[in-house]
């Protein structure tokens, strides 16, 4: 039995084992030789689908966004002392949207106004991974593989970077906005999937935790003349090559890292770096986005895609017990999160459409799983209950909310990139347990759909040290054709 699947193993021990195995995979990746496309093994070329999108923006709701309090409203009962937790499904009432048959939750009025431009999936399902660690489920969602793996699995953005290449040779193909990777809980686990894995550094993300400081990341130091800048770059390459850890890295990984430096050097020497400076945005436009770091991130993502970025992830940021990680005081926290995401998400869709970019830009809003008031995991799960407000009857407002992880049915929004408009797909049960009961969409099939839209076959694979590794787990992901216009 895996430690993660044993309910008697304390969460701290399971987490330590997780970190140990992730570290082993990452170390092995440094010594790996160049991954070879599997199609080359047979002397043929992989047949890729015709793309319906050229760029992709992932709006990541890190921490477990509760579908019944966002995009899949159920029976609503307002807070009152004495309310039984078993009777609590949605803690926000439903509101009308721009599509007659679709209702979402109060607090998302701006998104309600643009629902007619996208597809809402209400039947996304995740496996019950035993001991439910947010970072473990996020690793699974972002790579398509359940960790730990013996291979350092690439992020979906890295797959697009490797298979499709950049849209603009100067712009990074994969950019990650809003997530700190130092100084926050579970940072090592987050680093494990925010990576190009075995593909090498050149296909990894440019990390921009603070959107308002992104311009600094692509600006040479003050007073740095172009010749001095070029000299420093050459010296830095020599220092890297003489690194005492050089023998731990394969030639491929070493060259990949150096190519990533070359790409950064080109960007810092280019006018395209202005796209990173959100202070150049007109004030009226900036203010429509500015609900904080996430809103600014959505603005930055729009500017980057306009300038040729291939894949951009914008996150509300995962930090344990903050943001969507509503183990306590759930209703008040989600109310704040509504305010943080509602206006910028809608503005992003509106701006992309007005600029003629939405048709060829796939925008996805998703989370690692949903939440429930009573159930951890899904029916039959033996996962440890991680809620901090364990009551049967509400006596304080902090008890009002969905405090437990639920993997049986969550919601995903998809806009543009060839998806249908004003379309509702799948359903969850109207009463607990809120399982997906119509057209369930797994992570593998959702990834296959995303990759198909981007013009990448779900069966695309590489030989990694003698092991076949695919863009969807074992190449089995099936694109959901009903979602395409």
Per-residue pLDDT of 254-291, as tens digits, reads 666 666 666 666 777 788 999 999 999 999 999 999 99
Identify the pLDDT of residue 43.
45
Query: With 80 as the cut, is the pLDDT of residue 251 above it?
Result: no
Identify the pLDDT of residue 163.
96
And the tokens for 127?
């496996």
Token pair 């020599």: residue: 238
Contact by Cβ (8 Å): 289, 271:
no
pLDDT band, very low/low/confident/very high, at 241 (cuts 50, 70, 90):
low
Q: How far is CA 108 from CA 114, 148, 256, 346, 384, in A?
A: 10, 36, 43, 9, 32
Q: Using CA atoms, how far apart are residues 450 and 332, in angstroms rounded to an integer? A: 33
Mean pLDDT of 171-187: 93
Q: Using CA atoms, how far apart are residues 374 and 396, in angstroms rounded to an integer? A: 17
Which of these, 430, 481, 476, lies nearest to 122 by C-alpha position? Answer: 430
Q: Using CA atoms, how far apart are residues 425 and 415, in angstroms rounded to an integer? A: 13
SS3 (DSSP) at 4: helix
Mean pLDDT of 297-319: 97
Identify the pLDDT of residue 481.
98
pLDDT band, very low/low/confident/very high, at 1 (cuts 50, 70, 90):
very low
Identify the pLDDT of residue 341.
98
Identify the pLDDT of residue 46.
75
Which of these, 443, 368, 428, 446, lies nearest to 123 by C-alpha position? Answer: 428
And the tokens for 245?
């850890």
pLDDT tens-digit map of 87-120: 999 999 999 999 999 999 999 999 999 999 999 9
Q: Using CA atoms, how far apart are residues 352 and 444, in angstroms rounded to an integer? A: 28
Q: Which has the higher per-residue pLDDT, 450 or 19?
A: 450
Q: Using CA atoms, how far apart are residues 288 and 182, in angstroms rounded to an integer? A: 30
CATH number for region 54-216+281-483: 3.40.720.10
Count the alpha carbons within 13 Å of 48 in the hemisphere toward its beta carbon.
Answer: 18
CB neighbour class for 246 (10 Å; exposed up to 12, middle 13-18, buried from 19): exposed
Q: Using CA atoms, how far apart are residues 150 and 395, in angstroms rounded to an integer? A: 48
Q: How far is CA 312 from CA 34, 127, 181, 237, 258, in A?
A: 25, 26, 17, 28, 22
Contact by Cβ (8 Å): 389, 327:
yes
- A 10 A CB-CB count for 438 gives 12
Mean pLDDT of 27-37: 66
**DSSP secondary structure letters along 148-205:** P-SS-PPPHHHHHHHHH--SSTTS-SEEEES---SSSTTHHHHHHHSS-GGG-GGGSP
The contacts of residue 102 (CB under 8 Å, 6+ apart) are 115, 120, 422, 424
User: At 96, phi and psi to the nearest 5?
Assistant: -75, 155
Identify the pLDDT of residue 16.
64
And the tokens for 380?
């039959």
Which of these, 265, 219, 258, 264, lies nearest to 241 by C-alpha position? Answer: 258
């Amino acid at each position: 039995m895996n430690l993660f699947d044993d309910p008697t193993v304390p969460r701290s021990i399971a987490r330590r084992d997780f970190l140990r195995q992730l570290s082993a995979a990452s170390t092995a990746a440094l010594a790996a030789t160049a991954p070879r496309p599997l199609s080359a093994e047979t002397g043929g070329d992989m047949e890729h689908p015709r793309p319906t999108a050229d760029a992709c923006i992932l709006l990541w709701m890190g921490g477990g966004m509760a579908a019944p309090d966002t995009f899949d409203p159920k029976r609503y009962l307002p807070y009152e002392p004495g309310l039984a937790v078993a009777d609590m499904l949605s803690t926000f009432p439903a509101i009308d949207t721009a599509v007659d048959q679709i209702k979402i939750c109060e607090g998302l009025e701006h998104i309600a106004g643009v629902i007619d431009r996208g597809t809402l999936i209400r039947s996304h399902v995740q496996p019950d991974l035993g001991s439910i660690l947010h970072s473990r489920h996020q690793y699974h969602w972002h790579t398509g593989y359940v960790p730990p793996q013996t291979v350092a699995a690439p992020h979906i953005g890295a797959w697009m970077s490797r298979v499709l290449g950049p849209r603009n040779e100067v712009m990074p193909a994969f950019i990650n906005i809003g997530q700190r990777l130092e100084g926050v809980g579970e940072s090592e686990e987050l680093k494990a999937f925010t990576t190009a894995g075995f593909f090498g550094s050149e296909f990894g993300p440019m990390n921009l935790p603070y959107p308002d400081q992104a311009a600094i990341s692509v600006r040479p130091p003050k007073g740095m003349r172009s010749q001095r800048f070029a000299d420093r770059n050459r010296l830095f390459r020599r220092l890297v090559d003489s690194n005492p850890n050089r023998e731990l890295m394969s030639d491929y990984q070493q060259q990949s890292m150096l190519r990533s430096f070359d790409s950064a050097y080109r960007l810092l020497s280019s006018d395209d770096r202005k796209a990173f400076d959100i202070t150049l945005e007109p004030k009226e436009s900036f203010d429509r986005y500015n609900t904080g770091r996430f809103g600014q991130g959505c603005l930055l993502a729009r500017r980057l895609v306009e300038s040729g970025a291939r894949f951009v992830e914008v996150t509300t940021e995962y930090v344990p017990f903050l943001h969507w990680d509503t183990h306590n005081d759930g209703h008040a926290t989600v109310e704040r999160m509504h305010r943080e995401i509602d206006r910028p998400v809608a503005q992003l869709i509106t701006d992309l459409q007005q600029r003629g970019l939405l048709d060829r830009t796939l925008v996805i809003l998703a989370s690692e799983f949903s939440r429930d008031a009573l159930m951890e995991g899904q029916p039959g799960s033996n996962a440890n209950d991680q809620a901090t407000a364990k009551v049967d009857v509400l006596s304080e407002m902090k008890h009002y909310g969905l405090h437990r992880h639920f993997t049986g049915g969550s919601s995903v929004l998809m806009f543009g990139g060839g998806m249908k408009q004003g379309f509702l797909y799948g359903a969850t049960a109207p009463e607990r347990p809120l399982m997906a009961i119509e057209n369930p969409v797994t992570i593998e099939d959702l990834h296959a759909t995303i990759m198909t839209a981007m013009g990448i076959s779900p069966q695309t694979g590489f030989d990694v040290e003698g092991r076949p590794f695919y863009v969807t787990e074992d190449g089995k992901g099936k694109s959901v054709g009903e979602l395409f216009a």
